Structure 1
Amino acid sequence: MTSPRFATLAVRGSYDHEEAISHHGSLSEPAYLTTAQHFDSAEAMRATAAGEREGWVYARRGNPTTGHLEATLAALEGYQTGAEVTAAVTTTGMAAISLATSAFLGVAAGAEPNIVASPACYGSTVMVFDRRYGDERGVSVRWVDDPYSVESWERVIDRNTRFLFAESPSNPMVQLVDIPALAALAREAGIPLIVDATLATPALLRPLALGADIVVHSLTKAAGASGRSMGGAVIARRGLRFRGQPAEMTEDFARYLRLGPMRDMGSVLSPFHAWTLLADIRELRTRVDTMSSGALRVAEHLAGRDDVAEVFYPGLPGHRTHHLAQRDMWLVDSGGPGRDPVNRFGFLLGFRPAGGVAAAHRALDRLRLVWRANNLGQVKSTATIPAIGTHLQVGADSPVPADMIRLSVGVEDAGDIIDDLDQALTGGDGPVRRPAGRAQ
């Protein structure tokens, strides 16, 4: 059999026919809802605990079901990269970010550490960097002035910089960064480039293929689109070498996290949630394709209304990072004999109703189909105002407009979503107006 394609990897994962036979022929990975493993001897217990033989010992350091999820994620994120890739799954996306970044802030690499990051980040990421690392641990946080300018990053990197961090696309402004250019800067400095690619998923963007070293995801979002489970993931290429970091950490970063920080600090995903996430991931490519196609239709429609002041979506030509999205965001395996590759720009967009904050609140309150919720990537379309939700804790320093509505497009019919937005914007009073609007 030739190497399986992306959709096949998502369905099959690491669970094959032979393993199915050993589990009474079950077509699905078993959910090992247990916390510990029985051993047939003291020596087997010792060897497994020491990492000399395969096994999982205790759920805080691994479980067969979470292992299947990790293998599947590594296969999807490493698809067509030519690299050996491993993954570690965590309780939430923020746990993944915290583990992936804190590992590089140890004293062994020297004093006065600093981190360089794009300010276009999710609110909780900003809080981890500014409050948990900056205020509480004395780490200098250098937010780049312009994340789309490579020179802006280069200016603030020095010998004490431990890593570069960016979201691409970002939540909620859906802006991209130039991953290959930042990867070159990171290699020159001998530090990792860490990319949060939650909004793209590996179905649209695989940062490791573009030169990034480590990728983080919130599996609570599009990967777990049913909305039944929370989870996170850290995925890294093997054989990394970073300035001032021990080889045991960088040779297999995901394994290092599982057997060290995760084991000791306990941010381990439950096997039940791993099992439900595996079920969601099977249809990742098709689902993200549907959601992204709908999001583009919605964004184009909103951009054509004169009662919408601004639309944020990388699929619109007026968006500042549209050129990067055109270059980097492709529906995986969409090309082939007689078929052109297909750009897909993700399921998230933002818009500002004309009339400011009050108009945004009115429109959000009038939604009848779209759910008012602070999550995204679900099969159900959701909307929030980040300034009073996901970015409320950031306060006045947030770059997110106070009147911006963030819309995550689900798998409902795009026409129905558009109808709901139309009535929310007009309040059901009069016809929908569709002259040319503005897009960013």
Structure 2
Amino acid sequence: MTPARFATLAVRGSYDHAESANHLGSLTEPAYLTTAQHFESTEQMHATVAGEREGWVYSRRGNPTVRFLENTVAALEGYQAGVRASAVVTPTGMAAVTAATTPFLSAAVGANANIVASPACYGSTIMVFNNRYGRERGVPVRWVEDPLSVAAWERCIDENTRFLYAEAPSNPMVQLVDIPALAALARQAQIPLIIDSTLATPALMRPLALGADIVVQSLTKAAGASGRSMGGAVIARHDLRARSQPAELTGDFAGYLRAGPMRDMGSVLSPFNAWTLLADIRELRARVDAMSTSALGVARYLAGHDGVAEVFYPGLATHRSHDIARRDMWLVDSDADGRAAVNRFGFLLGFRPAGGVHAAHEVLDRFNLVWRANNLGQVRSTATIPASSTQKQVADADPALAPVPPDMIRLSVGLEHLDDIIEDLTQALDKR
């Protein structure tokens, strides 16, 4: 048989016929909603605890349902990447950001550590880097002045830099970075490049295939589009480049997190949430394809509307990241069977209604179909004003690190019919 394609991996994951036979023939992964495993003997328990036989012991150390999700996420992010990769899942996307970055800041591998990162990040990520790492641990963050400038990144890196970090596309400005170029800088410096690609999902872009070392995903978003569960994931290539780090960390970083920091500190995903996320992730490719197609239609409509001052979407030629998006964002397997590959630019966009902040508030309040909510990637279209919601903490603490227009509406396009979404936007923009 040929290797399974992306959509098949999303449906099957690591749960095949043989695995089904171990679970009384269940057609879907069972939900192990229990905290611990019973052992037939003391010898069996000791061998499992020691890692000498298969088993899961206690759900903080691992759970079969959670492991099925980890295997699926690793397969999707590692699809056609040409690298060995593994994944560990977390209770939230921010837990994944923390898990992916904290180990590299250990005092045991030297003092004077610094972080080099793009400021075009989700507000909570900026707060973690500035407050939890900078203020509380004394680890300075070097925010890259222009994330699209590779030279600007290079100027920030020195012998004490522990990792490079960026979102691609970023929330909420949907800005990309040149991942292959940053990967080259990271290789030269012998440090990992960490990319949060929540907004792309592996259906549109797989940073490991572009040279990144570690990928962060918020599974709460498009991967869990029903909106029933929160979750996050860290996916890492094996044999990381990381100066002064122990082999147990660099060999299998996700496995190291699972067996060490996350087990010890208890930042684990519940099996019930893993079970619901498994159900959602099966249709990831088709869902992101449909949502992205509609988002491009919405962006083009808004760009031509007299009541809109500006639109932010990487699928538009006016966006600063458009050329990178055209190079890196492709619907996975769209080139199968000799067909031409298809660009898809994601489901998130931003726009500024003409008339400033007051007008933006009025437009947001007039939505009838679009939901006013601070989440994205859901099957239902949602909208918010980031400057007064998701980015407000950053703006209050350091306005220079929150370059989000105060009148920008962030719109996450769902699975409603495109005509109905545009009709709702029209009535909201035209009622003056």
Q: Same fold (TM over 0.5)?
A: yes
What residue in structure 2 maps to residue 315 of structure 1? 315
What residue in structure 2 maps to residue 214 of structure 1? 214
- Distance (Å, rounded) in 2 between the aligned partners of 1:52 and 1:355: 66
- Distance (Å, rounded) in 2 between the aligned partners of 1:115 and 1:130: 10
What residue in structure 2 maps to residue 387 of structure 1? 387
SS of the aligned residue for 1:95 comes to helix
Offset, 1:19: 1.6
- Distance (Å, rounded) in 1 between the aligned partners of 2:45 and 2:24: 26
What residue in structure 2 maps to residue 224 of structure 1? 224
What residue in structure 1 maps to residue 64 of structure 2? 64
Offset, 1:10: 0.2
Counterpart AA for 2:251: E
Residue 426 (1) aligns with residue 430 (2): yes
What residue in structure 1 maps to residue 406 of structure 2? 402
- Distance (Å, rounded) in 1 between the aligned partners of 2:108 and 2:37: 35
- Distance (Å, rounded) in 2 between the aligned partners of 1:269 and 1:120: 27
- Distance (Å, rounded) in 2 between the aligned partners of 1:179 and 1:109: 27
What residue in structure 1 maps to residue 131 of structure 2? 131
Offset, 1:338: 4.1
Q: Report runs of 4+ in structure 1 exceeding 6 Å deviation.
A: none
Counterpart AA for 1:49: V
Offset, 1:242: 1.4
Residue 374 (1) aligns with residue 374 (2): yes
What is the aligned counterpart of 1:417 among 417, 421, 424? 421
SS of the aligned residue for 2:60 comes to helix
SS of the aligned residue for 2:46 comes to helix
SS of the aligned residue for 1:202 comes to helix
Unpaired stretches in structure 2, ≥5 consecutive residues: none
- Distance (Å, rounded) in 1 between the aligned partners of 2:56 and 2:359: 54
- Distance (Å, rounded) in 1 between the aligned partners of 2:429 and 2:247: 56
Counterpart AA for 1:178: D
- Distance (Å, rounded) in 2 between the aligned partners of 1:399 and 1:103: 29
What residue in structure 2 maps to residue 332 of structure 1? 332
Within 5 A, what are the aligned runs for 1:295-306?
295-306=295-306
- Distance (Å, rounded) in 2 between the aligned partners of 1:317 and 1:92: 34
SS of the aligned residue for 2:162 comes to strand
- Distance (Å, rounded) in 1 between the aligned partners of 2:193 and 2:387: 28
- Distance (Å, rounded) in 2 between the aligned partners of 1:64 and 1:216: 22
Contact 1:175/1:314 (8 A) holds in 2: yes
Paired residues in the alignment total 428
Out of 274-283 and 108-117, give the one that drifted further.
Answer: 108-117
Contact 1:108/1:244 (8 A) holds in 2: no
Counterpart AA for 1:287: R
Contact 1:241/1:247 (8 A) holds in 2: no
What residue in structure 2 maps to residue 266 of structure 1? 266
Counterpart AA for 1:114: N
Contact 2:187/2:241 (8 A) holds in 1: no
TM value normalised by structure 1: 0.96
Unpaired stretches in structure 1, ≥5 consecutive residues: 430-440
Offset, 1:22: 2.4
- Distance (Å, rounded) in 1 between the aligned partners of 2:248 and 2:51: 14
* Alpha-carbon displacement from aligned partner over 1:128-163 (angstroms, at most 9, x marks no partner): 000111111100100000000000000010011000
- Distance (Å, rounded) in 1 between the aligned partners of 2:20 and 2:52: 25
- Distance (Å, rounded) in 2 between the aligned partners of 1:291 and 1:3: 27
- Distance (Å, rounded) in 1 between the aligned partners of 2:191 and 2:89: 23
Offset, 1:20: 1.2
What residue in structure 2 maps to residue 141 of structure 1? 141
SS of the aligned residue for 2:165 comes to strand
What residue in structure 2 maps to residue 89 of structure 1? 89
What residue in structure 2 maps to residue 46 of structure 1? 46
What residue in structure 2 maps to residue 120 of structure 1? 120
- Distance (Å, rounded) in 2 between the aligned partners of 1:244 and 1:46: 33
Contact 1:241/1:251 (8 A) holds in 2: no
- Distance (Å, rounded) in 2 between the aligned partners of 1:12 and 1:285: 14
SS of the aligned residue for 2:342 comes to coil
- Distance (Å, rounded) in 2 between the aligned partners of 1:157 and 1:413: 46
Counterpart AA for 2:211: G
- Distance (Å, rounded) in 2 between the aligned partners of 1:236 and 1:73: 11
Counterpart AA for 1:399: P
- Distance (Å, rounded) in 2 between the aligned partners of 1:374 and 1:55: 39
* Alpha-carbon displacement from aligned partner over 1:178-233 (angstroms, at most 9, x marks no partner): 00000000011010000000000000000000000000000000000000000000
SS of the aligned residue for 1:203 comes to helix
SS of the aligned residue for 1:81 comes to coil
Counterpart AA for 2:350: G
What fraction of aligned residue pairs are identical, expressed as a percent? 75
Contact 1:214/1:235 (8 A) holds in 2: yes
Contact 1:219/1:233 (8 A) holds in 2: yes
Residue 353 (1) aligns with residue 356 (2): no
- Distance (Å, rounded) in 2 between the aligned partners of 1:165 and 1:47: 39
What residue in structure 1 maps to residue 276 of structure 2? 276
Counterpart AA for 1:384: T
Query: What RMSD in Å do the two structures reach over aligned CA positions?
Result: 0.8
SS of the aligned residue for 1:145 comes to coil
TM value normalised by structure 2: 0.98
